[in-house]
Amino acid sequence: MINFRYLIIRILSKIHTLILSNSYNFIGNKTVVYYRSRIINKVKGGITIGNRCLIGRTSYEYHAGMPFYTTLLNDGSNSYISIGNNCRLNGVYIHSQDYITIGNNCVMASGISIIDSNAHQVNSLNRLEGRDKAKGITIGNNVWIGLNAIILKDTIIGDNCVISAGSIVKGNFAKNSIIQGNPAVIVGTVGFDNN
């Protein structure tokens, strides 16, 4: 039996992806941007998404809450967002004013924010004026980020890392790390069976 709901969502998402694929964005082959997801790019060529990615999804039948749909916002003067191949971003908010790079085969749950700027300056006599200096974020290959995690500016996450739900992550984390907490620390390592 045909599920008309999914058929309509697929058609709308394919049309949405075609509309978003323009001179300001590069969207790879077989990548689909869910029709409620947003790409806001103020820099020509500033957002690149690899092949076979799923950017956003419906909250219907998702295993957890979906507080917002996926948004990619790129608005620095020379900023960019780069997402590798075979990634799945479910309800993720990404805002770049410097750079945010995400490797291949990454999976991100809903409620995640990845932001390379604090927006306001720490040392300020007037919180309504001025901006802090943005510093980039690098996320390696095969990274899994759990529900509601926050990735802050000036962070490097190595290949194969797992970030626990609700963690607030800032700093440099070696590959194969299990990262957890606020502030996030390494609590273990990912083990691989070579057999």
Q: For a pLDDT cut of 70, what percent of the chain falls above it? A: 97
DSSP bridge partners of 151? 114, 169
- What is the rounded distance in angstroms from the CA atom of residue 63 to the CA atom of residue 19? 29
Prior bond of 67 cis (ω within 30°): no
Q: What is the mean pLDDT of the chain?
A: 91
Is it the case that residue 195 has pLDDT exceeding 50? Answer: no
The pLDDT value recorded for residue 193 is 58
Q: Which residue has the higher pLDDT, 193 or 8?
A: 8
Can you give the pTM of this predicted structure? 0.92
Across the range 55-71, mean pLDDT stands at 87
Across the range 181-193, mean pLDDT stands at 91
Closest to 60 measured CA to CA, from 129, 143, 3: 3
Whether residue 16 lies in the annotated active site: no
In the chain, the domains with their CATH numbers are: 4-189 (2.160.10.10)
Is the four-CA dihedral 100, 138, 150, 53 of positive or negative sign?
Answer: positive
pLDDT digits (tens, 9 = 90+) for 113-153: 999 999 887 887 787 887 889 999 999 999 999 999 999 99
pLDDT digits (tens, 9 = 90+) for 16-31: 898 888 767 899 999 9
